[in-house]
């Protein structure tokens, strides 16, 4: 087995980016990040899909990543989103992530272009060879229109800097095959499938729901790792209504609405994303008052 700089196993939070009046809400970011670190997450994932990375400029990305690194102070890993649908841009953004102090970079597969599988190998391979930083492949065909197939992941796992994949294909048969690839960590990219991926040998989750319930998501992972499957399943079942809520509309729209109800940030987004529909906002308020509120009692918030 090659010497790879693998990531700590556990829960990674795909952080939302808080805005106020069209600009970064820096105090809210610092509160959100501190809450995650105090909850004991294994890692933070700033400026990814959940963080509306495509709507951020380079200066904003730099501030967000550096603030994350400063808050983490080595207590958890920082895996910065750095992907784009242009290879040279992905290389530049991955270099930025390294320069700003990130421990690794997460690279969404190129979207819109619809590269072939050998194009994906060429794309990720170029980044892996150009930037000396651990890389996490991000497979989310629902957003990109391209599925990184297991054979492609297997080929890329030979790259020393490719250490993990965030699997959000929703296909458990495919995820099981990817989990069988040597020298590669697999993280769940779908909160509803976390326990399934853990059971397949997954290294943890990159979670949206942990924006809201970091301690609960961490406890679920800890219970599974300790062999307490019944407790892990009970926790996952309690969280299930919140998982469903977070994907009622396009992520991160519902998560931001719920965080706003919790008083942690506004529900502001950047166009083309807009706040939740009125009927969904009513439903999200009910979730906040019901299942989410019950779980927040155990979060210390």
**What are the catalytic residues?**
138, 166
Backbone φ and ψ for 118, nearest 5 degrees, come out as: -70, -25
**Angle, to 10 degrees, between the axis of helix 214-225 and the axis of helix 26-39?**
20
DSSP code per residue over 239-260: HHHHHHHHTSSSTTHHHHHHHH
- CA–CA gap between residue 160 and residue 151 (Å, rounded): 17
**Which H helix or E strand runs over 231?**
helix 229-246
- Quote the crossing angle between the two packed helices 87-99 and 58-72, to the nearest 10°: 40
Distance CA 48, CA 36 (A): 16
CA distance 188 to 202: 7
Q: Please tell me the distance from the alpha carbon of residue 160 to that of residue 296, in angstroms, as a whole number.
A: 41
Closest Cα partner for 188 from 173, 170, 212? 170
Q: Strand pairing of 77-81 and 23-24?
A: unpaired
93: enclosing H helix or E strand: helix 87-99
264 CB-near residues (< 8 Å, 6+ apart): 18, 28, 31, 32, 35
């Amino acid at each position: 087995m090659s010497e790879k700089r693998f990531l700590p196993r556990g829960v990674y939070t795909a952080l939302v980016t808080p805005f106020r009046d069209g600009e970064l809400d820096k105090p809210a970011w610092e509160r959100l990040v501190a809450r995650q670190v105090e909850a004991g997450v294994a890692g933070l994932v700033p400026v990814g899909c959940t963080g509306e990375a495509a709507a951020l400029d380079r200066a904003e990305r730099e501030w967000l990543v550096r603030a994350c690194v400063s808050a983490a102070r080595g207590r958890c890993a920082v895996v910065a989103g750095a992907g784009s649908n242009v290879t040279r841009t992905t290389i530049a953004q991955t270099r930025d992530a390294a320069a700003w102090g990130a421990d690794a970079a997460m690279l969404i597969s190129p979207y819109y272009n619809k590269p072939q599988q050998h194009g994906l190998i060429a794309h990720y391979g170029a980044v892996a060879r150009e930037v000396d930083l651990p890389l996490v492949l991000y497979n989310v065909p629902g957003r990109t229109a391209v599925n990184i197939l297991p054979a492609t992941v297997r080929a890329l796992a030979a790259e020393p800097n490719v250490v993990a994949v965030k699997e959000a294909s929703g296909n458990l048969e495919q995820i099981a095959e990817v989990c069988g690839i040597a020298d590669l960590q697999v993280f769940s990219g779908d909160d509803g499938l976390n326990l399934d991926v853990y059971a397949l040998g997954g290294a943890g989750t990159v979670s949206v729901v942990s924006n809201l319930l970091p301690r609960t998501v961490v406890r679920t992972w800890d219970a599974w790792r300790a062999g307490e499957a019944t407790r892990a399943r009970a926790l996952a079942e309690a969280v299930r209504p919140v998982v469903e809520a977070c994907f009622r509309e396009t992520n991160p729209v519902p998560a931001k609405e719920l965080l706003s109800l919790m008083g942690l940030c506004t529900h502001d987004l950047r166009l083309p994303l807009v706040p939740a529909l009125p009927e969904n906002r009513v439903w999200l308020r009910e979730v906040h008052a019901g299942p989410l509120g019950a779980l927040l009692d155990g979060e210390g918030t």
